Amino acid sequence: MEILYLTPEDVLATGITNQEFRTLVAGALAQHGRKKVENPPKPGIHPLPQTFLHAMPAYLEETREAGIKWVSGFFDNPKQNLPAIMGLIVLNDADTGAPTAIIDGGWITNMRTAAVTAVAAEQLAPANVRSIGIVGTGMQARYHMLMMQDMFPQLEVVKGFDIYQPGLESFAEDMKRELNINVQPVSSVSEAVQGSDIVMTCTGVLKEPIFFWDDVKPGALVLPVHGGGWEFDVMNKADVLITDSHQQVASFLDGKYNIPESSLELGEVVADLKPGRVSQEQRILNFNLGLAIHDIAIAHRVCELAREKGQGVNLPYDPGVYPVPGAKK
């Protein structure tokens, strides 16, 4: 038996496209909507305040894909020249449970998170998006812009805010140079949120609220990818609340708050089981805390591409080498 090992460079060299990310994420969400997945809430450990290491197992029944991601979020890492998000994905054979691949999960995590936002925006954004507000202009913000660069032909302005001014400035410069997107740096969270058709919040984990629903304009779609930061009662204020998994969001909220009964799951909308936006005036809040099904579906495709191209290293693996007590030598 062998385990395919793919480094970050191997994963990138597969050439998997933005469109493939969006298609795979939508497919996984649709299976989630049809209740054809196992994706338990992620348990975590927290070696430093406001950091995490999460275990994220998933099984997709329709495509018979199984595996787990072990992912870290340490948001001071960039000061040591390390990424804030790092991770490894292990895939398993769905018939035997045998491990089949170990894949770097950092880039996949960044890309698939942005792809989920893009799929949600395709489904839930108001018509003719002209303005986007983005708060927290770190790595995720960059991947979000990359993933959505071709989606809104009428886009006129992206307003960006970050507490770290040099990061905000380089975000604006890089987006202009690389993606031809005009980012207007603004000086407060409210300025970024007010008047925006789509609001994306990509800060690190926040303890105190900095986002307030009264700033959100009628018809806007709000897409947080981080934990905390929104005012306590926000889930009751939105006209429609959508999560990627009620079970996972409930677990994150730790019983301190109930998800309103009328809420939808994104997979139900993507699978066409329930309507998402039904009027241009609705203010929709869509919390996507991140599902392992995306990582596992994408990692499978990445392995397929790597095998076709002969990339990666095959590690020998023999599950039967340990001694069996009592068995003949």
Tell me whether residue 69 or residue 277 sits nearer to ligand NAD (CB atom).
69
**CA distances, 147 to each of 20, 72, 117, 143, 231 (Å):** 11, 22, 9, 6, 28
113 counts as binding ligand NAD under rule CB under 6 A: yes
Query: Which member of 45, 98, 163, 315 binds ligand NAD (CB under 6 A)?
Result: 163
Tell me whether residue 113 or residue 311 sits nearer to ligand NAD (CB atom).
113
73 counts as binding ligand NAD under rule CB under 6 A: yes
133 counts as binding ligand NAD under rule CB under 6 A: no
Task: Determine the Cα–Cα distance for residues 92 and 79; give it in Å rounded to an integer.
Answer: 35
136 counts as binding ligand NAD under rule CB under 6 A: yes
Stretch that binds ligand NAD, among 9-17, 88-96, 162-170, 250-258 (CB under 6 A): 162-170
Asked if 241 and 253 touch (Cβ cutoff 8 Å), the reply is: no
Query: Which member of 103, 111, 119, 202 binds ligand NAD (CB under 6 A)?
Result: 202
Stretch that binds ligand NAD, among 9-17, 160-168, 174-182, 274-282 (CB under 6 A): 160-168
Query: Which member of 203, 243, 245, 286 binds ligand NAD (CB under 6 A)?
Result: 203
Task: Determine the Cα–Cα distance for residues 6 and 248; give it in Å rounded to an integer.
Answer: 29
Task: Determine the Cα–Cα distance for residues 288 and 270; give it in Å rounded to an integer.
Answer: 14
Tell me whether residue 1 or residue 179 sits nearer to ligand NAD (CB atom).
179
106 counts as binding ligand NAD under rule CB under 6 A: no
Q: How far is the CB of 172 from ligand NAD (least distance, A)?
A: 13
75 counts as binding ligand NAD under rule CB under 6 A: yes
Which residues 221-260 are close enough to bind ligand NAD by CB under 6 A? 225-226
Tell me whether residue 164 or residue 317 sits nearer to ligand NAD (CB atom).
164
Asked if 116 and 244 touch (Cβ cutoff 8 Å), the reply is: yes
Main-chain dihedrals φ then ψ at residue 178, nearest 5 degrees: -90, -35
288 counts as binding ligand NAD under rule CB under 6 A: yes
Structure tokens belonging to residue 177:
């140079």
Q: Are strands 51-60 and 65-74 parallel, antiparallel or unpaired?
A: antiparallel
Structure tokens belonging to residue 219:
């018809």
Stretch that binds ligand NAD, among 2-10, 126-134, 155-163, 177-185 (CB under 6 A): 155-163
25 counts as binding ligand NAD under rule CB under 6 A: no
302 counts as binding ligand NAD under rule CB under 6 A: no
Query: Which member of 27, 57, 106, 290 binds ligand NAD (CB under 6 A)?
Result: 290
Query: Which member of 35, 164, 176, 187 binds ligand NAD (CB under 6 A)?
Result: 164
55 counts as binding ligand NAD under rule CB under 6 A: no
Residue number closest to ligand NAD, CB atom: 138
Site size with ligand NAD, rule: CB under 6 A = 28
Q: Residue numbers of the site for ligand NAD (CB under 6 A)?
A: 73, 75, 84-85, 109, 113, 135-140, 161-164, 167, 202-206, 210, 225-226, 288-290
